[in-house]
Chains A and B, each alone.
Chain A
Amino acid sequence: MDERVVEFVSALRSNGVRVSLAESVDSLKAVEVIGVLDRDRFKNALKATLIKEPADVPVFEQIFPLYFGSGGPEMQQPQGLTKEQQEMLERALDELRQQIQELMRMLAQGQRLSDEQLREAARKSGVTRQMRGMNQQVREWLTERMLRQLGLTPEQLRDALESLMKQLKMQGMDREGRQEVSETIQQNADAMREQVSRFVGQNMLNQPSDNPRRRRIDELMNRPLSSLSDAEAEELRNHVRRLVAQLRARAALRMRRANQGNLDAKSTIRHNQRYGGVPIEIKLRRHHLKPKLTVIVDVSTSMRPVAEFLLQMVYEMQDQVSKARSFAFIDDIHDISQPFNEHRPEDAVPLVLHSIPPGHYNTDLGNSLVTFSREFLDTVDRRTTLIFVGDGRNNYNDPRADLVQMLKMRARRVVWMNPEPPYMWGQGDSDMLAYAPLCDAVHQVATLQQLADAIDDLFQHRV
């Protein structure tokens, strides 16, 4: 049984469920405690120890029956045949064509297909270990092919059964006997089909040791965001939460380490009044560790994918940030903090992008900066990290680098995130070379990995 559970775990893994070694050990222990007699309880025990995300439950439900299926209806032998009738059946089977003889014999005697037979049939019908992924249609199609190979499709079986019946009649078996034999064979055929279907399912799943989904995520993490297909972007979006959890844990740990500050005399005196002013409890001034962020994002067509992921990540990290304001611009600036305050990040991002549709605008950061410094200058103070997300391409408008300079004087840090590689800066309408020297840091953020690194870096530079 243990072996079976381990195989099952590796099937879960190859379908993208994260199962650690400790968890698989736990599952074995749990099985020991619960036993295997009650299938539902056994299933619940595995579920509680192996599945830790509601999102993984469907995968579990799908794979579980393949490994611990009820085994299909049991194979049976025809009941209530007299010895004479048994012999008749034997002789009738002998008379059948070579091809169907073996199969009908197994069905009539209630034998299961051996592993060898299954493998042989699989080889002949092209079910190989190369079959990747869980595609229900492919699975059905392959099952169908294997059944055909084995002679188990309904039509084939009907023909075979007919010739057997004919033989039995010739042998002189009565109607009831024939009925019994026919029913048993049909039931056994159902069981055998179930066996084949599970065999195919397992073969498609059981690709241990390599994990297509995780490898795929790694690969997607390093693909330029602008070149993702919709499906791939969706996949990455689901990954962002996990990524953020990691970043958050790192940030929180750093904060914990950096939690010692200077003596806060005022607070110490106040707190120690109750001890007659003897300073027993020392109060330390907490650093203003959580950065205050103001994000200015270019949401023109070329920048959308990057903007989307960045906004989502910044707002998922909100508990590590003391305050976040965000602005989007194409030709002019829009305050987009509101939707983020009211909705969860994954809902707010599409909302914002939807409200500022891309079109044939004239990207103009210069103009946007003018508006920004006229109306929202109060969002930048000496504790603020100002983040620009954009490619620095201004359609030959005035870059207004002087305004960035002014903002830099006010802000604690100015960080620029640009999806373009450095060699493209300054080419064509890019004003990046004018902006870059004014920033404390410039990150290239073409891929999600780079984006994650850049955000991690933000939280390293605390006061």
Chain B
Amino acid sequence: MFNSIADVTSGLLGQQYIASDEIATVVYLAEKMGKPILAEGPAGVGKTELSKAWAGATGRELIRLQCYEGLDESKALYEWEYAKQMLYTQLLRDKLSQIVGEAQTLGQAADRLAGEENVFFSMRFLLPRPLLRAIMSDKPVVLLIDEIDRADAEFEAFLLEILSDFQVSVPELGTLKARTQPMVVLTSNNTRELSEALKRRALYLFIDYPSLESELNIVRMRVPDLSPSVAKQCVEIVQRLRGLDLKKSPSVAETVDWAKALVAINARHLDDKTLNDTLTVILKHESDIQRARRVLSAGKARDVGVR
């Protein structure tokens, strides 16, 4: 548990996550108020990473629910394990006939069988999916609901019910209430407008691309082997590329990948050739790469001209 905002910052830092003051404040608030966090922002700025770091820092288990179009309750909440039930019925056939065997009438037999129903509709045959797992867990967990904007609007409505009272009703078993309240992080890449109700319930956190300085810190922390001058150059180029109108701007994750790649090929400095060879690590569209090459080489030419 965190006792102060500074605690949060240092806890997350221990998980190699550099949290801005804003992020730390929101996490602290979520912890104290028991509210979900809704994190929005461009892809690859560390929304998912935040929840991992949070779980790591507090020693909680991270349960992840990846959303996609068509995700429904049975995949998110629970399912009955039919196959296992079938198997048990087969194996327990003798025992069952024993129970039913002594019955005089059909009605009696049915009654006796009904008495054993609980065996088959018990937790043993319930296959908990992420949401139920988070609720049923004995120890508090961090529940990451990733890319909620990809799920259908109806799933969002269903999620609201769960997030507001942290209980689930399974018709055969009754209501299952959360033993410990999970900390929830919802992430969204903002591909569609989320419902007002969901936003109302959550603490809102907009994570944008980091500034040059903090991105440099991230690279230094994640890839300590890279020489400082190359790291700086690397981050500067990425920051510059984000300013261009590209199909897909390079994310922080890709900056880190790039830095790792540079270490792997043992680059001492970032010359034209290395840059050309490794640009594909941060840019994933051919047209973007062409464009970046043009812009970067033009920049270089201008620098030379000045000298």
Contact = CB atoms under 8 A, between A and B. Distances in A.
Interface stretch (A51-59, A125-133, A136-144): A51-59
Contacts of B203: 26, 30, 48-49
A30 B33 contact: yes
A255 B22 CA distance: 39
Nearest to A281: B82
B95 interface: no
Given A29-B33, A242-B193, A34 B157 contact: no
Contacts of A34: 5, 25, 28-29
A176 to B, nearest CB: 43
A48 B29 contact: yes
A281 B203 CA distance: 40
Nearest to B37: A48
Interface in A7-49: 18, 20, 22-23, 26, 29-30, 33-34, 40-41, 44-45, 47-49
A244 B153 CA distance: 12
Contact of A30 (B29, B83, B86, B206): B29
A45 B32 CA distance: 12
A33 B200 contact: no
Given A41-B5, A248-B153, A280 B200 contact: no
Contact of A45 (B25, B82, B200, B206): B25
Given A44-B21, A253-B157, A52 B200 contact: yes
A409 interface: no
B177 to A, nearest CB: 22
B29 A33 contact: yes
B21 A41 contact: yes
Interface in A243-258: 244-245, 248-249, 251-253, 255-256
Interface string A253-275: 10110000000000000000011
B154 A23 contact: no
Contacts of B38: 52
B93 to A, nearest CB: 14
B88 interface: no
Given A45-B25, A49-B203, A245 B32 contact: no
- Max count, chain A CB within 10 A of own CB: residue among B26, B83, B157, B193: B193
B204 interface: yes
B236 interface: no
A241 interface: yes
Contact of A33 (B28, B82, B86, B192): B28
A275 B196 CA distance: 44
Nearest to B197: A249
A48 B25 CA distance: 9
B107 to A, nearest CB: 23
Contacts of A278: 86
A87 interface: no
Interface in B1-45: 5, 21-22, 25-26, 28-29, 32-33, 35, 38, 40
Given A275-B82, A319-B192, A249 B29 contact: no
A34 B201 CA distance: 19
Contact of A44 (B25, B35, B199): B25
Contacts, number: 87
A48 B205 CA distance: 6
B97 interface: no
Nearest to A54: B206
Interface string B170-208: 000000000000000000000011111001111111100
Given A29-B33, A48-B25, A253-B154, A18 B206 contact: no
Interface in A46-102: 47-49, 51-54, 57
Contacts of B194: 245
B69 to A, nearest CB: 8
Interface residues of A, number: 39
Interface residues of B, number: 33
Contacts of A20: 200
A255 B152 CA distance: 11
Given A33-B28, A34-B29, A253-B157, A40 B204 contact: no
B146 to A, nearest CB: 19
A120 B40 CA distance: 47
Nearest to B85: A280
Contact of B26 (A40, A44, A276, A280): A44
Interface string A301-343: 0000000000000000001000000000000000000000000
Contacts of A29: 33
A36 to B, nearest CB: 13
Contacts of A44: 21-22, 25-26
B193 A33 contact: no
Interface in B29-68: 29, 32-33, 35, 38, 40
Given A18-B196, A255-B154, A41 B82 contact: no
Nearest to A320: B153
A45 B195 CA distance: 22
A203 to B, nearest CB: 29
B29 A280 contact: no
A51 B194 CA distance: 14
Contacts of B29: 30, 33-34, 45, 48-49
B44 to A, nearest CB: 17
A241 B29 CA distance: 30
Nearest to A31: B29
Contacts of B154: 252-253, 255-256
Contacts of A23: 200
Contacts of A251: 153
Given A48-B26, A249-B195, A275-B83, A40 B21 contact: yes
A261 B78 CA distance: 22
Contacts of A52: 38, 199-200, 202, 204
B150 to A, nearest CB: 10
Contacts of B86: 275-276, 278, 280
22 contacts: A29-B33, A33-B29, A40-B21, A41-B25, A44-B22, A44-B25, A47-B204, A48-B204, A51-B204, A52-B38, A52-B204, A54-B40, A241-B193, A244-B193, A249-B157, A252-B153, A252-B157, A253-B154, A255-B154, A280-B82, A281-B82, A319-B153
> Which 7 A/B pairs are nearest by Cβ-Cβ distance?
A252-B153, A52-B199, A44-B25, A245-B193, A252-B154, A48-B203, A33-B32
Given A47-B22, A49-B204, 13 more contacts: A22-B201, A23-B200, A26-B33, A44-B26, A48-B26, A49-B203, A52-B200, A54-B40, A252-B152, A252-B157, A255-B154, A256-B157, A319-B153
